Amino acid sequence: MTLGTVPASRRRLDRARDYLAASGVGALLLVKTENRRYVTGFTGSAGLALIAPAEAFLAVDFRYEEQAAAEATACTVLRGGRDPLAALSAAVAGRSLGTIGFESEFVPFAQVTRLREKLAPAELVPLATVDRLRWTKDATELAAITRAVEIADAAFAHIAGVLRPGLSEQAVAFELEMFMRRAGAERLAFESVVASGPRAALPHGRATDRILQKGDLVTLDFGAVSDGYCSDATRTVVLGAADDRQRRIFDVVLAAQGQGLAAIRAGASCRAVDESARSVIAGAGFGDAFGHSLGHGLGLEVHEGPRLSPQEDAVLEPGMVVTVEPGIYLPGWGGVRIEDNVVVTSDGCRNLTRAPKELEIPLRG
């Protein structure tokens, strides 16, 4: 059987077992929704998956018993009624698991205490890198992300024809979000950012009742979800003619993004990619106005690894999907951010985002 004919559920289980072996634990417990979905195929919001070298269990409560049986076909589904943990405990009783790794950066302390009680005598071992299972995307995941990006691109094309002085930020956000839902998004990837005028200096400025005015900078940050996978795009525009300062800062951010995109390829360090874009902004005299990382991974979560950041040691691999989103934010004046979603390839990257990067929106009516 070739790799292309191996079902995704089997490939992901095999990947989890490779991680299990490398971590040196007897089994891997998955509580986080995205990790559990990735490995088992179960899309419900609650449940416990336990992956062992030769077995895979998925324990769910009454609400999800039929759904789990239909979706998690490579797992033994445990019908947990009101207590899935009790069902899992009973299923593994007598097995010499020794140690069970869990998602230390996600599972709260109170839940760890209960897990230790129910899964004894196995010892629970904290693992901080479980999310890395999802960093590299397969063809099915890339198709879903591509569709989510296409929805976001279409939404920007639509909203560019709607923007005008007199609209409120909230009205723009509503129109943007309704378009994405009508275009096929199963939900929004996050609460949309619409920040105009001086509020564009807020990197995550949520929409308010502020009324858009002629000459305003407007930052739009939005994303769609398709088959569970997210897109995340940002465009900054001016309503009407841009002034010299707006144009200069926009051009610096655009040049920084271009440098960041050019630096992405398999084998490049995330830190180096961040620095390639950051150096452009710093060289233009705006280094203190770019306070966030250059980008982040994108997948079942809108923010996942790897990060394109000065603090990230990871190296990029083919199939990773990351955002590239430099920005300059000047309190009392406004800000500019431009963001694309790209797939890492062996010799560069493939940009999925097609929305134009044009600063000025012609005034209408």
Peptide bond into 121 cis (omega under 30): yes
pLDDT category of residue 95 using cuts at 50, 70 and 90:
confident
Give the CATH number of domain 3-133; options: 3.40.50.300, 1.10.760.10, 3.40.350.10, 1.10.340.30: 3.40.350.10
Position 94 confidence tier, pLDDT thresholds 50, 70, 90: confident
Three-state SS at 320: strand
> Are β-strands 340-345 and 321-324 bridged in parallel, bridged antiparallel, or unpaired?
antiparallel
Q: What is the pLDDT of residue 249?
A: 98
Decide: 178 and 153 in contact? Cβ < 8 Å. no
SS3 239: strand
Rounded to two decimals, the pTM is 0.95
Looking at the predicted structure, is the pLDDT value of residue 5 above 70?
A: no
Q: Is the pLDDT of residue 183 over 50?
A: yes
In this predicted structure, the answer to whether residue 6 has a pLDDT above a threshold of 60 is no
pLDDT of 220-238, one tens digit each? 999 999 999 999 999 999 9
Give per-residue pLDDT as tens, 237-267: 999 999 999 999 999 999 999 999 999 999 9
Is residue 184's pLDDT more than 70? yes
What is the maximum alpha-carbon separation in the chain? Answer: 75
Q: Which residues pair with 349 in a beta bridge?
A: 344
Q: What is the pLDDT of residue 3?
A: 45
Is pLDDT at 2 greater than 60 in this prediction? no
Overall average pLDDT of the 138-161 stretch: 97
Going by pLDDT thresholds of 50, 70 and 90, the confidence category of residue 197 is very high
Question: In 3-state terms, what secondary structure has residue 46?
Answer: coil
Residues in the chain: 365
Q: For residue 365, name the pLDDT band (cuts at 50, 70, 90).
A: low
- Long-range contacts for 240-245 (Cβ within 8 Å, ≥24 apart)? 240/165, 240/214, 240/215, 240/360, 240/361, 240/362, 240/363, 241/215, 241/360, 242/359, 242/360, 243/215, 245/333
| Strand 295-297 with 304-308, pairing | antiparallel
Question: Over 90: is that where the pLDDT of 8 sits?
Answer: no
Are 286 and 252 within 8 A, CB to CB?
yes
Contacting residues for 305 by C-beta, under 8 A, at least 6 apart: 131, 132, 135, 296, 297, 312, 314
Assign 224 to helix, strand or coil: strand
With a cut of 90, say whether residue 4 has pLDDT above it.
Answer: no
Q: Using CA atoms, how far apart are residues 217 and 240, in angstroms rounded to an integer?
A: 10
Percent of the chain topping pLDDT 90: 94
Q: Which of 298, 140, 148, 325 is nearest to 224 (CA)?
A: 148
Q: Record the tokens describing residue 131, joined without a space.
A: 């999310």
Four-point Cα dihedral 308, 247, 221, 165, nearest 10: 170
What SS3 state is found at 351?
Answer: strand
pLDDT of residue 80: 87
* Average pLDDT of the segment spanning 49-57: 95
- The predicted pLDDT at position 205 comes to 95
Q: What pLDDT was estimated at residue 364?
A: 75
The residue extents of the domains of the chain are: 3-133, 139-361
- The answer to whether 231 touches 142, Cβ cutoff 8 Å, is no
Spatial CA neighbour of 30 closest among 65, 57, 1: 57
CATH 3.90.230.10 fits 139-361, yes or no: yes
